[in-house]
Amino acid sequence: MKKFLQISLPIFLVAMLCIELGFRFAENQVDLMVLTGKKEGVNPMLATWAKNEPFFSYSAAKSFPLEGKTINNYGFISTPNISVKKDSLVKRIAFLGGSSTAGTGQLLKDEETWPWKVAESIKDAGYAIDFINAAASGYTTFESYGVLWSKLRFFKPDVIIINHGWNDFSYFKKDKKELLNFRKNAEGVFEGVKFLIKYETYEPLILDEYIHFSQVLSRLRLSIWHNEGRGEVYIKDDPELSAELSLKSQGSVAFQENLELIKAYCKMHGIACFFCLQPTLVLNPSQTPSMEAEFMRVESIKGHMDNFGLIFSAVKEIASNKYLIDLRSVSYKEENFRDYIHPSPAGTDRIASIVVDSLLNNYFDFEAE
């Protein structure tokens, strides 16, 4: 037995060392201290193109180059330079949303983004306007409310258009249901891959402080003890509130409450507030897929479609018909998307056309009367 241990123990230790080194050289490092909230993690946006903001996480850093993109002096993406003070004869439109509004997740030039196209079309219709694209990659309704309250309000917009949904649900793993990220491969065919960015938190354990140095032990711990948190709506010690929230998606609760905050602010300041039903490549399983690669993926995308059903229900509860912009007709058409959510130039043409019609019918022409 002693001889066996003398031989097997060194082999085991060498094997463990090799596995440990293998994990350490892997791209997806596990940091237990970050995952359990004991240490601040690195925001991937701040590591690349963004800078910290005091009230809403981050905004675009003007020093970061984006091909074909304008980042103005106030950190607004794809927005011409604009003064804080507004001409009294000019109507100012502001857009709130994530990367599909900013034109960043799949990079679009300034003039290819749908807010830019909306502004140009409204000008062509004879109205004096300027605009602010206050969207950015990764923004949820939480960031957009922060932008509105702490920054955008000083520019005194007359109209706000909100195009949110997907990012709010991507922060809630329980709601996400292993969503697929549809992107084109080298052959130009759409195919689904697992959504890569995960925002997870775990309930901390006492042993975390003693094993976090090891990738092997950290991964073993997460595979055995993996009680997950739920972002900003993680409820642990309030059974009554937990029972109430369990009747609805945790993500949809945060989504709807943030939209209500934005709507209330707009009402208080006399701002016309329009809400978009956000388009997405995959929306309705009863429709015949235009891509052969999707025929076998209907079940895989069920979570995606369930989430968008919750998104649409939440928006409809908040917005009256006059202020609801239905972009769902853009969905499920391959030519309108570069991936699952980010529009192509053809997609932004269609989005802009729908938004312009809504603004002319329900705001500009109405105001002119």
- Residue 362 parent element (H or E): none
Instruction: Using alpha carbons, select from 338, 352, 363, 358 the residue that is nearest to residue 99.
Output: 338
Alpha-carbon radius of gyration of the chain: 23
> Tell me, what's the pLDDT at 177?
43
| 225: confidence class by pLDDT, cuts 50, 70, 90 | confident
Region 42-71: what's the mean pLDDT?
A: 81
Cβ contacts of 5 within 8 Å, gap of 6 or more: none
Q: Using an 8 Å Cβ cutoff, are 201 and 235 in contact?
A: no
Interval 105-145: pLDDT, tens: 888 999 999 999 999 999 999 999 999 999 999 899 999 99
Indicate if the pLDDT at residue 324 is higher than 80.
yes
Region 236-253: what's the mean pLDDT?
A: 54
Instruction: Using alpha carbons, select from 163, 152, 134 the residue that is nearest to residue 255.
Output: 163
Predicted TM-score of the model (pTM): 0.79
Interval 286-311: pLDDT, tens: 544 454 444 444 444 555 666 778 88
Indicate if the pLDDT at residue 345 is higher than 80.
yes
Relative orientation angle of helices 250-268 and 302-318, to the nearest 10 degrees = 30
Instruction: Kindly tell me the burial class for residue 37, based on how many C-beta atoms sit within 10 Å of its own C-beta (0-12, 13-18, 19 or more).
Output: middle
> Tell me, what's the pLDDT at 183?
57
> Could you tell me which residue, 190 or 230, shows the higher pLDDT?
190
| 56: confidence class by pLDDT, cuts 50, 70, 90 | confident
Indicate if the pLDDT at residue 196 is higher than 50.
no
Q: CA quadruple 143, 148, 152, 154: dihedral positive or negative?
A: negative
| 327: confidence class by pLDDT, cuts 50, 70, 90 | very high
Class of 57-197+240-368 in CATH: alpha beta
